Amino acid sequence: MTQDKDAGTSPSGMPSDYSAVHEIPRAAHRVKLSIIIPCYNEERTLQECVDRVLAIQDETLALELIIVDDCSRDKSAEIARSLVERSPELLLLRHKVNQGKGAALRTGIARATGDFVAIQDADLEYDPMDLKKLLIPLRSGDADVVLGSRFLSTEFRRVLYFWHSVANGVLTTLSNMLTDLNLTDMETCYKVFRREIIQRVQIEENRFGFEPEVVAKIAQMRLRVYETGITYRGRTYAEGKKIGMKDAWRALYCILKYNLPKVPLPVQFVFYACIGGLAAIVNLLCFVFLLGIGVGLTLSTLVAFFIAAGVNYYLSITLLFRHGARWNTITEILAYLTVVITVSVVDLGCTHGFVSLGMDPPLAKILSTIIGLSLNFAGRRFIVFPEKSNPDWKPQDPH
């Protein structure tokens, strides 16, 4: 990443109050808003986007614009340089290789110095004037994070892809189920944060997975989250839209990955049952296969069990539990193996016991696996991957 120019600073403060119609009093203190603009091949819209953003600046609002060029292949970087030369509010950062929107936001957020931080795509889908609406509950001290909803709005929005709206609704609903938020538009670009809040969030996603990731993490911080309607002028793929089906699947994965370690126990058990069910199928198939090629009952049981345990562990740390929640890697694996060995002894005893009662071996194995499912979940949740529950919703001390 290379830096082209440093941005200037402006005095900041908090407004004293707001009128009944949510207008900022003329005597209100000036605050500074840092706006992160990730940019990749946006030569057609970048200059107009920046001009529109700069237009929201007034006597109560100073701006810091941080353009992060993600190794654009068109003239975006040249346009950004010319904008920086004429506007002291602008800072240009560049990636030497293309990394994605999340990576660009990670770079920009780290350099922000304003009282609040907002995200603005370099296209023209969102109206920067709406950022003033999003700032209202932040400036009044009521909110820590404010999201702009394309579906809550009473303003106009461009009508486009039906299946995109269906996918958005499904992803938002699933996210809400796991975060215990009641958002209407989790995937929205317009998110505004208190700077000290967003700079505490460790952003891991490099592409569009940033949206579900950051929503999950602010929900786990139990911040005061607000939402307000915004205007939206969506664009088509012919006009440069980049998000696709691959990103929808990634968003689904991110919703599970960043939320499931913190969800309530009953919800977590349901998802573990799905993982355990898949591992159980692997267990059963391996067991039947080994028996079919002449391996003895005891060895078939143990080998099938440990293969399934490996599948279970991989899926658990990929989706359900937070790796390293309590132990370092080696200790965690040892703790996991201890639970596996303990449950394997129970599994072996149950399998032999059911067979001795006259059951067919596959049926005996199915019953033993069902018993082991609850034991496996308890061992993993409370011993190997313990997590503290989320606190209630309340203002959080950012320091």
pLDDT tens sequence across 2-45 = 455 444 333 333 333 333 334 554 446 899 999 999 999 999 99
Helix, coil or strand: residue 382: helix
**pLDDT computed for residue 322 by the predictor:** 83
**pLDDT computed for residue 239 by the predictor:** 56
pLDDT tens sequence across 203-225 = 999 988 999 999 999 999 999 99
Return the closest-CA partner of residue 190 out of 131, 272, 239, 136. Answer: 131
131 and 61 Cβ atoms separated by less than 8 Å:
no
Neighbouring CB atoms inside 10 A of 196's CB total 14
89 and 8 Cβ atoms separated by less than 8 Å:
yes
26 token code pair: 């003329």
Give the span between the Cα atoms of 386 and 399, in whole angstroms: 25
2 token code pair: 């290379």
Give the span between the Cα atoms of 290 and 187, in whole angstroms: 47
**pLDDT computed for residue 57 by the predictor:** 95
**pLDDT computed for residue 233 by the predictor:** 78
Which sign, positive or negative, has the C-alpha torsion 156, 162, 168, 169? positive
48 and 61 Cβ atoms separated by less than 8 Å:
no
The CA–CA distances, whole Å, from 272 to 255, 299, 312, 367 equal 15, 26, 9, 18
Residue 25 DSSP label: P
Give the span between the Cα atoms of 220 and 202, in whole angstroms: 13
75 token code pair: 């003239």
Return the closest-CA partner of residue 175 out of 140, 212, 135. Answer: 212
- Run means of pLDDT, 10 residues per run, the chain, 399 residues: 45 37 56 96 94 96 97 94 92 95 96 97 91 96 95 68 80 94 94 97 92 95 93 66 74 93 87 87 92 91 87 88 84 89 88 90 86 84 82 55
**Identity of the amino acid at 319:** L
294: left (phi over 0), alpha (psi -120 to 50) or beta: left
**pLDDT computed for residue 157 by the predictor:** 67
Q: In what order do the strands lie in the sheet with 61-69?
A: 2-5, 90-94, 61-69, 31-39, 116-119, 191-194, 145-149, 225-229
Give the span between the Cα atoms of 16 and 12, in whole angstroms: 13
**pLDDT computed for residue 302 by the predictor:** 86
Give me the phi and psi of 243, to 5 degrees please: -70, 140
Give the span between the Cα atoms of 353 and 48, in whole angstroms: 74
Give me the phi and psi of 227, to 5 degrees please: -145, 140
Residue percentage of the chain with pLDDT more than 90: 52
**pLDDT computed for residue 27 by the predictor:** 46
